[in-house]
Amino acid sequence: MSDQEAARYLSRIRLPLTALRHKRLTRGEATVAGILVIGVALRAWILLVPRLGKLDADESVSGLMARHFADGEFTAFFWGQSYGGTAEVALTAVLFKLLGPSTLLPKVVTIGLHGLGAWLTWRVGLRLFEKKTAAIAGALAWAWPTYAVWKSNRLMGFYALGLVLVMAVALLVIRIEERPRPSELLLLGFITGLGWWTHPTVLFVAVPAAIWLIFRRPRLLIFLPVVVIGAILGSLPWLWSNLANDWHSLDNPLVATSLAQYWDALRGLFIQPLPAALGLRVPGSAKWVFGPVIGVTVYVMLLAGLCWLSWRHRYRKLGLLSVVMFGYLTILAVSTHALYRDEPRYLYIVMPILGLLVAQLGTEARMHLSLPALLVVFSVAGLFVMSQFPKDPWVPADFKPLIDVLESEGVDRAFAFHTIAYRLSFESEESIIATPIDHPVRYQPYDQAVRNSSQAAYVFAPMPAVANQFAEELDDRGLVYDWLRAGDFTVVIPQSAVSPDVFDSLRPSQ
């Protein structure tokens, strides 16, 4: 290369770099960047705060399933139930196979899936709004509301993948409405079938979206066989499991048994889960983040604004989002899942849809930056309130002292409450197998292994009344046992095989 050619080459590099150095971010770009950084910081904080980041029973079951998947033991559904697909668990198993099991890798999977959902939210927004509104919507899906940020740090089996599938359905429906392609209709069917296997609530989005699409383009009905073929392919694991188990997924439909129950569920969604899904109420609590006066005022204003937005755009593509949200809430209330109100668990998969609507509401209400910023403040404050919850009396944060004591005593089998049992099995890497005494058994081989043991321990969290009552019953029966402390746990080790079924203190009603 000659000196002149080298000079020209360097000038081509220098000019863009100079322009980039002198480029200033607009207020909108700075806001989006700030929200994204806050989303990362909040997740890092969750991992560092035991009250927010500790494992729970469902997350531990997911981790155990991933370990078994990595060893070739495949199941179509979450242990102990006939719904809730295991594709998310399979992704975790791949990481376990490559890097080895850990308590952190499951969180990497769910955070990554939630990030993919936020990216899809942005892609949906680009087809509905101007670029800056789409960017705000994607950023909100990453850092708001409180529950979505917290939930994305937990491997709960299928929720994070459900969110991704919902946003993929929304994007495909919009693309098909613009320009129908058989390949995308096949993909839409596949994703819907995969969603049906992953969690039935994904179908609660797909059905309203399909109705909107057919209303806009009735001639697409001729492609129905293509969609059905795709749906069959996507739901093959569901079909395989049900064909092998006498259609067990249909045994307990989990639907409302009366009109009164339906209306109660629908009303309840607007009282507790929906305000939490908007970041205004604290998940796992009846508290409003900034008190009831501010919370209710903002909630009413948001609902009124979203209703106004939906009516104004009812005949445009933006109407898809309103149809999906209205349809989802209406159908969800049919399911008994809607009766669960402690946290907005069953609204998690549609929180990006709410983010899209709120972003556009902010634009049209001339609060393009202030409304998203306000909502992110609610996210941060909500997580702070969650971090200040009292110490959990049922599940101590640190299991290491318990594992150390059991291993030093040569104990590798244990009975415990379900909030402890599965986490003990997972964190000990199954060197200690525990089974629940207060909950339906999710994995029968664990239960059989513990019950067949000649010296299984009984593990209690800081609940002296229960442990003391159990010890009194052992004394009454003349049974010899060791009583040990292990950090915040109490460990009782009978010197002979003792079944929990005959003790009043260990009955589920206690």
- Name which of 23-32, 76-85, 339-348 the model is least confident about: 23-32
Q: Which two tokens stand for residue 426?
A: 């997972």
Question: Are 483 and 372 contained in the same domain?
Answer: no
Question: What tokens were used for 381?
Answer: 């404050």
Is a pLDDT exceeding 70 seen at residue 441?
yes
Q: How far is the C-alpha of 56 from the C-alpha of 63, rounded, in Å?
A: 11
Q: Please give the Cα distance from 501 to 490 (Å, whole number).
A: 20
Does residue 467 carry a pLDDT above 90?
no
- The per-residue pLDDT for 453 is 93
Confidence tier at 486 by pLDDT (50, 70, 90): very high
Whether residues 141 and 207 share a domain: the answer is yes
Q: Is residue 279 part of a domain?
A: no
Mean pLDDT in residue range 28-34? 92
Q: Where are the alpha helices (DSSP H) in 350-503?
A: 351-364, 370-387, 400-408, 418-427, 444-451, 464-476
Q: Please indicate, yes or no, if residue 16 is contained in any of the structural domains.
A: no
**424 and 370: one domain?**
no
Rounded CA separation 479/468 (Å): 14
Rounded Cα–Cα distance for residues 267 and 275 (Å): 12
Q: Looking at per-residue confidence, does 20 or 165 come out higher?
A: 165
Domain match, 362 and 405 both? no
pLDDT greater than 90 at residue 21: no
pLDDT higher than 50, residue 142: yes
> Residue range 71-94: average pLDDT?
94
- Averaged over 419-447, what is the pLDDT? 94
Query: What pLDDT is recorded for position 15?
Result: 47
> What is the C-alpha separation between 39 and 34, in angstroms, rounded?
9
Whole-number pLDDT of residue 23: 61
Is 133 a residue whose pLDDT tops 90?
yes
Residue 310 resides in a domain: no
Any domain includes 329: no
pLDDT at residue 117, rounded to an integer: 98
Same domain for 107 and 235?
yes
Q: 199 and 319 in contact (C-beta within 8 Å)?
A: no
Whether 375 and 442 map to the same domain: the answer is no
Determine the average pLDDT of the residues in 418-423: 93
**Structure tokens belonging to residue 486:** 């292990």
Average pLDDT, the chain: 91
Report the percent of the chain where pLDDT is more than 90: 74
Q: Which domain holds residue 454?
A: 400-506
Residue 287 lies in a domain: no
Between the alpha carbon of residue 463 and those of residues 69, 113, 315, 489, 494, the distances in Å are 35, 37, 58, 9, 19
Q: Is the pLDDT of residue 510 over 70?
A: no
pLDDT of amino acid 465: 79
pLDDT value, residue 20: 42
d(CA 61, CA 137): 33
The predicted structure's pLDDT at residue 9:
43
Residue 438 confidence (pLDDT)? 85
Where is average pLDDT lowest: 181-190, 231-240, 472-481? 472-481
User: Among 337, 332, 358, which residue's Cα sits nearest to residue 208?
Assistant: 332
Can you tell me the distance from the alpha carbon of 175 to that of 287, in angstroms, rounded to the nearest whole number?
41
- Among 106-115, 197-206, 244-253, the range scoring the smallest mean pLDDT is 244-253
pLDDT at res. 463: 65
**Does pLDDT of 407 surpass 80?**
yes
Residue 375: inside a domain: yes
Residue 297 lies in a domain: no
What local confidence, expressed as pLDDT, does residue 12 receive? Answer: 52
Count of C-beta atoms within a 10 Å radius of residue 445:
12
* Mean pLDDT, range 115-136, rounded to an integer: 97
The pLDDT-based confidence of 490 (bands split at 50, 70, 90) is very high
Count of residues making up the chain = 510
Sorting pLDDT into bands at 50, 70 and 90, what band is 60?
Answer: very high
At 505, the pLDDT band (50, 70, 90 cuts) reads: confident
Task: Based on the fold, state whether residues 364 and 480 are members of the same structural domain.
Answer: no
Amino acid identity for residue 504 in this structure: D
**Residue 482 and residue 376 in one domain:** no
Q: Is 296 a member of any domain?
A: no
Torsion sign (Cα): 347, 350, 27, 309: negative
pLDDT confidence of 25, banded at 50, 70, 90?
confident
What is the spatial distance between Cα 155 and Cα 159, in angstroms, rounded to a whole number? 8
Same domain for 224 and 144: yes
| 222 — pLDDT class (breaks 50, 70, 90) | very high
| pLDDT score, position 393 | 62
Tell whether the model's pLDDT for residue 42 goes beyond 70: yes
Q: For residue 455, what pLDDT band results from cuts at 50, 70 and 90?
A: confident
Same domain as 226, residue 186: yes
Q: How many structural domains is the chain composed of?
A: 2
Give the single-character DSSP code of 199: -
221 and 119 both lie in a single domain:
yes
Predicted local confidence at residue 236, as pLDDT = 97
**Same structural domain, 74 and 192:** yes
At residue 14, does pLDDT exceed 60?
A: no
